[in-house]
Chains A and B, each alone.
Chain A
Amino acid sequence: MREDSGRDVRDHVEAIYRSDSRRVLATLIRLLGDFDLAEEALHDAFAAALESWPENGLPANPRTWLISTGRFKAIDRLRRTDRFDSADANALERLVQTTAPEVEEGVEDDRLRLIFTCCHPALSPDAQIALTLREVCGLTTEEVARSFLTPAPTLAQRIVRAKAKIRDAGIPYEIPSLPELPARLDSVLHVIYLVFNEGYLASSGASLTREDLSAEAIRLGRLLVELLPEPEAIGLLALMLLHEARRASRTSPAGEMILLEDQDRLLWNRERITEGVSLVERALSSRRIGPYSLQAAIAALHAEARDAPSTDWSQIVGLYDVLLEVERSSVVALNRAAAIAMRDGPEAGLTIIDGITARGELDDYYLSHAARGDLYKRLGRVGDAVAAYRRTLELVTQEPERRFVIRRLRELGETELPES
Chain B
Amino acid sequence: MAASVLDHAPAAHAPAKTGVWSWITTVDHKRIGILYGATAFVFFLLGGLEALIMRVQLMKPDNTLVSAETFNSLFTMHGTTMIFLGVMPLSAMFFNYFIPLQIGARDVAFPRLNAFSYWVFLLGGLFINASFLINAAPNAGWFGYANLTENTYSPGLNTDFWVLGLQILGIASMAAAINFFVTIVNLRAPGMKMLRMPMFVWMSFITQTLLLLAFPVITVALVFLMMDRHFGTHFFIPAGGGDPVLWQHLFWIFGHPEVYILILPSFGIVSEVLPVFSRKPLFGYTAMVFSGAFIAFLGFGVWSHHMFSTGMGPFADSFFALSTMLIAVPTGVKIFNWLGTLWGGSLQLRTPLYFAIGMVAQFIVGGLSGVMHAVPPADLQQTDTYFVVAHFHYVLFGGAIFGLTAGAYYWFPKMSGRMLNETLGKLHFWMMFLGFNITFFPMHFLGLNGMPRRVYTYPAGLNSEFWNRVETYGALLLGASFLVFLWNLWATLRKPANAPADPWRGATLEWLIPSPPQEFNFGEVPPVNSSTPAWDLRRARGGPLPEPGHVSGAGIHLPRPSYWPAVTAIGVLGVIGSILLTHAVPHSYAITLTGTAILFYGVYRWAFEPAF
Instruction: Indicate whether A and B interact.
Output: no
